[in-house]
Amino acid sequence: MRAQSWWVLAAGAMTVGCTTPAGDDENVGQAEEASVVCATGGTVLGIDVSYYQSKPNWKAVAGAGMRFAIARINDGSFIDPVFDYDYQGIRDAGLVRGSYQFFRSSHDPIAMADLVIKKVGKLEPGDLAPVLDVEATDGASAPQMVDKIQKWAAHVEQGLGRKPIIYSGRYFWDDNVKSSALKDYPYWIPEYTSDTCPNLAAAWNHWVMWQFTSTNNVAGIAGHVDTNRFNGGELGLQDMAANGYRASIGSLDYPRTLEAGKSGMVALKLKNEGARSWGGKTKLGTSDQRDRKSPFAAPTWDSPSRVVTVEGTVKHGQVATIQFHLVAPAKTGDYLEHFNLVEEGAAWFSDIVPGGGPSDTAIALSIKVVAASGGSGAGGGSSTSTGTSTGTSASASTGAGAGAGAGGNDASGGAIGSGEAPGDPSAAIGEQTAKGSCALVPGDGDGAAGTAGAWLVGVALLGFRARASRARAGRGEASRADRRRAR
Where does a domain end: 240, 259, 281?
A: 240
341 lies in the same domain as 434: yes
Looking up residue 279, the CATH number of its domain turns out to be 2.60.40.10
The pairing of strands 257-259 and 78-79 is unpaired
Q: How confident is the model at residue 408 (pLDDT cuts 50, 70, 90)?
A: very low
Q: How many structural domains comprise the chain?
A: 2
Q: What is the pLDDT of residue 34?
A: 59
Whether 135 is a known active-site residue: answer yes
Where does a domain end: 240, 260, 289?
A: 240
- Domain hosting residue 382, numbered range: 247-445
Q: Residue 387, CB half-sphere, CA atoms under 13 Å: how many?
A: 12
293 lies in the same domain as 232: no
Q: Judging by beta carbons within 10 Å of its beta carbon (0-12, 13-18, 19+), is residue 30 exposed, middle or buried?
A: middle
CA distance 266 to 256: 10
350 lies in the same domain as 228: no
Q: Does any domain span residue 149?
A: yes
Residue 226 β-bridge partners = 48
Asked whether the whole model's pTM tops 0.85, one would answer no
In this structure, of 28-37, 65-74, 115-124, the range with the lowest mean pLDDT score is 28-37
DSSP output for 19-48: ----SS--B----SS-EE---SS-EEEEEE
Instruction: Let me know: does 261 contact 370? Beta carbons within 8 Å.
Output: no
Candidates 26, 135, 311, 337; catalytic one:
135
315 lies in the same domain as 402: yes
What are the tens digits of pLDDT across the range 125-184?
999 999 999 999 999 999 999 999 999 999 999 999 999 999 999 999 999 999 999 999
- Of residues 395 and 227, more confidence is placed in 227
Q: How confident is the model at residue 49 (pLDDT cuts 50, 70, 90)?
A: very high
